[in-house]
């Protein structure tokens, strides 16, 4: 027998082995049970997923609060008949934390908190202006800065006036809104507009 014949025989045997189908895996070997370590990984993973879902829900709940009507941070509805006349003393709303001031230019809702250090200022009839009892800051009836340590005019809340012909809203600067023909007035205490700095007032 020659070397060439032996080589051909080995090559034919290898070809038959390669062509032969692999033995089928038994059904018992295909379903491998999880061990204790894998089980604990799954439990920990599920626990962390549930914890993260609860935390995310809580953050969203507190970051995006929903205020009811008539609650500070929400909308206060004002009856047009109760709005003070032009030139009369502003009317406070302690629940909404604003002063309703009706100036010749229109209606304003002024934040009750002084822009200096957060004291509650008062309307002084004798001087026809707002005065802060803490450090003496003074403001006009429309919230404009007069004098004192306050860095800016009074902050305002957005006002929305609904009339029979349409809707008028405060602009980005919180300028007064005319209320002629108003059927409903809304003060949005969740939308505060910062007063201009004392030098710009």
Q: Which secondary-structure segment (H or E) carries 4?
A: helix 3-19
Domain ranges of the chain: 3-63, 75-193
As a whole number of angstroms, the distance between CA 32 and CA 113 comes to 69
| 3 state DSSP class of 32 | coil
As a whole number of angstroms, the distance between CA 194 and CA 16 comes to 88
- Whether the predicted pLDDT of 20 surpasses 60: no
CATH fold label, 75-193: Rieske Iron-sulfur Protein (2.102.10)
What per-residue confidence (pLDDT) applies to 49?
95
Task: Give pLDDT tens digits for 100-152.
Answer: 988 888 888 999 889 888 888 899 888 889 999 888 899 989 889 888 898 98
As a whole number of angstroms, the distance between CA 33 and CA 30 comes to 10
Whole-number mean pLDDT of the chain? 81
Q: Which residues contact 76 (CB under 8 A, 6 or more apart)?
A: 69, 70, 93, 95, 96, 98, 186, 187, 189
Task: Give pLDDT tens digits for 68-87.
Answer: 555 567 788 888 888 888 88
Q: Which secondary-structure segment (H or E) carries 161?
A: strand 156-163
Task: Give pLDDT tens digits for 171-197.
Answer: 888 888 888 888 888 988 888 888 888
């Amino acid at each position: 027998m020659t070397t060439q014949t032996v080589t051909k025989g080995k090559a034919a045997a290898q070809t038959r082995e390669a062509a032969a189908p692999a033995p089928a895996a038994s059904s018992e070997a295909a379903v491998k049970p999880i061990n204790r370590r894998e089980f604990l990984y799954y439990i920990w993973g599920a626990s962390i997923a549930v914890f993260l879902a609860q935390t995310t829900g809580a953050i969203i709940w507190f970051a995006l609060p929903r205020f009811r009507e008539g609650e500070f941070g929400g909308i206060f509805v004002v009856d047009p008949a109760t709005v003070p006349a032009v030139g009369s003393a502003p009317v406070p709303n302690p629940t909404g934390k604003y002063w309703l001031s009706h100036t010749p230019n229109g209606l304003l809702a002024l934040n009750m908190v002084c822009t200096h250090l957060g004291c509650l200022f008062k309307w002084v009839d004798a001087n026809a202006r707002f005065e802060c009892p803490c450090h003496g800051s003074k403001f006009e009836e429309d919230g404009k800065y007069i004098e004192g340590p306050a860095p800016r005019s009074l902050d305002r809340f957005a006002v929305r006036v609904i009339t029979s012909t349409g809707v008028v809203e405060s602009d980005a600067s919180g300028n007064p809104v005319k209320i002629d023909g108003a059927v409903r007035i809304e003060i949005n205490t969740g939308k505060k507009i910062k007063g201009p700095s004392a030098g710009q007032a």
